[in-house]
Amino acid sequence: MREAYFQEKGRQGYRQLKILLQKQHALKINHKRVRRLLNQMGLHAKPRRKKFKKYDQENRYAKNLLARDFTAKKPGEKLCIDITYVYAGSKRYYLCAIIDLFNKEIIAYHLSSQNDTELVLETLKKAEKKRDLKGATLHSDQGHQFTSHKYANTVLGYQMIRSMSRRGNCWDNAPIECFFSHFKTEGHWLDRPRNLSQLVSSVDEYMRYYHFRRYQKELGFKTPLEFYREAV
């Protein structure tokens, strides 16, 4: 048994060794006895490398609390967050933005060359300085930035409630997707910035236009800031 154990480099457990002894040495022996004798000799099978458990990732997800109800009764009640890509010349950058569903205002946005969790956290930090986020429902898709422990802990630290779209369903996060569509057709693709400085100026200029001069039918033909001021 010891010879068979080292011959197999400790890869086989007592059940496999029992079969090996039967087939190669015609020994009829109970697997319990094999286990007991191996234990007495201090011989144990080498443990397999543990696989990544799916539930470790799944517990980072959140329920779809919005359920496509994109109406809000007060500022800071429901927020949506997402990331889109933009170009400066041939170089790609990433724009993260948070929209308040009460008045469709972009309460925070941030540009980065990296599509990572830090981009999202910087955007959240800006939003926290502008709005009272306590108790707000923050909706996102299931991107890796939003399923990270760091993001979940940050949202919890701001006393916010996470909500997530169903997998592969962009309509569950339609308000921010719609904003990015308008931003690209009405701003980014018209300006075609060639470097980072031009890109920053282009994004800032569109945000001013969107908040102060873009009237929206669903807001009673008011701009986001006009609607906000009248409501508050």
Domain hosting residue 22, numbered range? 2-41
Q: Which pLDDT score is estimated for 35?
A: 85
Residue 212 covered by a domain: yes
CA–CA dist 222, 65 (Å, integer): 28
Q: Is 49 a domain residue?
A: no
65 and 170 housed in the same domain:
yes
Give dist(CA 34, CA 40) in Å, integer.
10
Spatial distance between the Cα atoms of 89 and 83, rounded to a whole number of angstroms: 19
Q: What is the pLDDT of residue 67?
A: 94
Q: Please choose, from the candidates 170, 1, 146, 174, the residue with its C-alpha nearest in 3D space to the C-alpha of residue 71.
A: 174
Is residue 9 located within the same domain as residue 104?
no
Q: How many Cα atoms within 13 Å fall on the side-chain side of residue 56?
A: 4
How many CB atoms within 10 Å of residue 214?
15
In a domain, 47, yes or no: no
Report the distance separating Cα 214 and Cα 200, nearest Å: 20
pLDDT at site 38: 80
Same domain? For 71 and 159 the reply is yes
Sequence-ordered alpha helix ranges (H) in the chain: 2-7, 14-25, 31-41, 54-58, 117-130, 149-157, 174-183, 189-191, 196-212, 224-231
Whether residue 96 sits in one domain with residue 36: no
Are 106 and 25 in a shared domain?
no
Count of domains in the chain? Answer: 2
- Digitized pLDDT (tens) for each residue of the chain, 232 residues in all: 788 777 767 666 778 777 877 877 888 888 888 888 888 887 777 665 655 444 445 458 899 999 999 999 999 999 999 999 999 999 999 999 999 999 999 999 999 999 999 999 999 999 999 889 999 999 999 999 999 999 999 999 999 999 999 988 889 999 999 999 999 999 999 999 999 999 999 999 999 999 999 999 999 999 999 999 999 8
